Structure 1
Amino acid sequence: MRLLRALVAEEGMSTAEYAIGTIAAAAFGAVLYSVVTGDSIVNALTKIIDKALNTSV
């Protein structure tokens, strides 16, 4: 019976978990944005696209 009460009595946890998840998603988005918009990624993607388009047979 004590275990059942411990499992059921999680009032307020969903709000805290939602807030942590939202903060983590925003941080991941900011890191991903900074990586993708960095010069090295843009240059690497440009080289890949140029190589794919300039293949001579």
Structure 2
Amino acid sequence: MRVRANRLRTRLLAHLGGDRGMSTAEYAVGTLAAVAFAGLLLKVVTSDSVQKALNGIITRALN
């Protein structure tokens, strides 16, 4: 009985886990998330307070 259960489990996992990559919808969601993150990062890095902090760090490093 145990051998039969193992075979059934193996076949079920092979059937369910046969995903070979992302579908088009998953690519679209992943791309959208990446673009949103890039936009947020750009907004943070170009803010006045971050610009002043980065400028101060670079000035101290070069002096």
Q: Point out 4+ residue stretches in structure 1 off by more than 3 angstroms.
A: 4-8
- Given candidates 11, 26, 34, the residue that maps to 1:17 is 26
TM-score for the superposition, normalised by structure 1: 0.69
Paired residue for 1:52, among 19, 42, 61?
Answer: 61
Cα RMSD after superposing both structures = 2.0
Query: % of aligned pairs identical?
Result: 55
Q: Which has the larger radius of gyration?
A: 2
For these two proteins, the number of residue pairs brought into alignment is: 51
TM-score by length of 2: 0.64
Can you give the 5+ residue segments of structure 2 that lack an aligned partner in the other structure?
A: 1-7
How far apart are 1:41 and its partner, in Å? 0.8
Unaligned runs of 5+ in 1: none
